[in-house]
Amino acid sequence: MKVENLKLRSKIQILVNLGKNFFEVLENENSNNFPGFNSIYVSNPWFIPDFVKYSLKTWSKLLSEDKISAWLQNYNLPNFSTPKTLGLVFAGNIPMVGMHDFISGFICGYNLKIKLSSKDNILMRWVIERLKTIGNISDEKIIICDSLMGNFDKIIATGSNNSNRYFEYYFAKTPNILRKNRTSIAILDGNETQKDLENLADDIFLYFGLGCRNVTKLYVPKNYNFEALSKAIEKYSFLRNHNKYANNLDYRFAIFTMNKVPITNLGHLFLRENKDLQSYVSVLNFEFYDKKEELIENINKKSEELQCVITKIDNIANRLDFGASQNPELYEYADNVDTINFLIK
């Protein structure tokens, strides 16, 4: 098998060109052998064209030479004379959710064995094939597998809490990063502007709220008035016309009604007072708080369960500004685990 040693500068340029391909597809979906937004949607109805385009646009911006160079400047990246193999198991909850792990393995010089999610089989397969074409990379260097059965030196696997138990057993003897369910929250104090709340709507509704960076719970002060939030989220009212989302709305409304659970119906979102961090599609949990200091202490204790905390309050782990949850920088790692450091150890 021929070993390919791509210098770092060449790898960066390949990623930059990949980002340009994303931009070109946004301009013309018939370019670069793109499978088409409709084909992706038919394969997975949660991947509506607007959200796939949002993901492609986000990554087209991230894959710039300046951003990639700034991301990698603090690492001493090796040039493996005998490349090691990295196994990757991708989730499929949102479009291209495995992208960061993919480019991290590529930039560190690993041979890659990738198990795609059936939910993101078309889009992510196209991304991988585009990179191979741009970089003239052989099929032996990057392999898409139906299953991962050993023969790799390290593994990064992402899935649900249930699948994570399987990962922990099966990959126990292999150096690994194993990711399970996390979620994100927002803390309001009543002084948010309407623009803040409109940005919060993005944190809640982008990708139908299916990502770990989506807000599934609000913490609000006593007697908080939700009227401004109700207006702010109206821009996502089109989700009511999406069949799967509408089915979730109908189902949750029926369950809440039968069980006499108090809810506030905002048309395309139910507000439910509940202490749980995780919620359901179309449902946003909320909880009142009295003292901000006690809340901050409590939230910081839950940092291992949280991907992002959307708030203007300082001194909180994983804090982000309103609207920033689905626009992470390359150096913002999932679960705060530095993937590059893991790969170059």
Residue 25 is part of a domain; what is its CATH number?
3.40.605.10
Domain termination site, one of 130, 161, 181? 181
**Residue 337 belongs to a domain:** no
Q: By percentage, how much of the chain surpasses pLDDT 70?
A: 97
The predicted pLDDT at position 2 comes to 36
The answer to whether residues 162 and 65 belong to one domain is yes
Checking if the pLDDT of 5 tops 50, the result is no
**Quick one: 227 and 159 in the same domain?**
no
Q: Where are the alpha helices (DSSP H) in 171-226?
A: 194-205
Say whether both 153 and 95 belong to one domain: yes
pLDDT at residue 162, as a whole number? 78
263-322 pLDDT, tens per residue?
A: 999 999 999 999 999 999 999 999 999 999 999 999 999 989 999 999 998 889 899 999
**Do both 189 and 174 map to the same domain?**
no
Same domain, 68 and 149: yes
Residue 107 resides in a domain:
yes
On whether both 165 and 193 belong to a single domain, the answer is no
Answer yes or no: is 343 within a domain: no
Residue 196 sits in a domain whose CATH number is 3.40.309.10
Does 138 fall in a domain? yes
Among 218, 233, 231, 224, which Cα is nearest to 191's?
Answer: 224
Q: Is 36 exposed, middle or buried (0-12, 13-18, 19+ CB in 10 A)?
A: middle
Considering the domain architecture, whether residues 170 and 208 belong to the same structural domain is answered as: no
CA triple 334-337-60, angle to 5 deg: 45
Check whether residue 160 and residue 25 sit in a common domain.
yes
Looking at the domain assignment, is residue 2 inside a domain? no
pLDDT at 333: 95
In a domain, 99, yes or no: yes
Q: Give the Cα separation of 208 and 185 in Å (integer).
A: 15
Q: Is residue 345 part of a domain?
A: no
Provide the domain count of the chain: 2
- Kindly state whether residue 48 falls inside one of the protein's structural domains: yes
Please report the pLDDT score of residue 83 as a whole number.
Answer: 84
* Domain housing 176: 8-181
53 and 199 housed in the same domain:
no
| Least confident stretch, 45-49, 253-257, 311-315 | 311-315
Q: Which of 181, 202, 233 is where one domain is finished? A: 181
Note whether 134 and 189 are same-domain residues: no
Q: Are residues 176 and 187 in the same domain?
A: no
Kindly give, in sequence order, each residue whose CB lies less than 8 Å from that of residue 269, ignoring residues fewer than 6 positions away: 204, 205, 233, 282, 283, 284
CB 328 within 8 A of CB 94: no
Does 155 lie in the same domain as 17?
yes
- Asked which of 181, 197, 230 is the last residue of a domain, the reply is 181
pLDDT category at 345 given cuts 50, 70, 90 is confident
- Which is higher by pLDDT, 39 or 80? 39
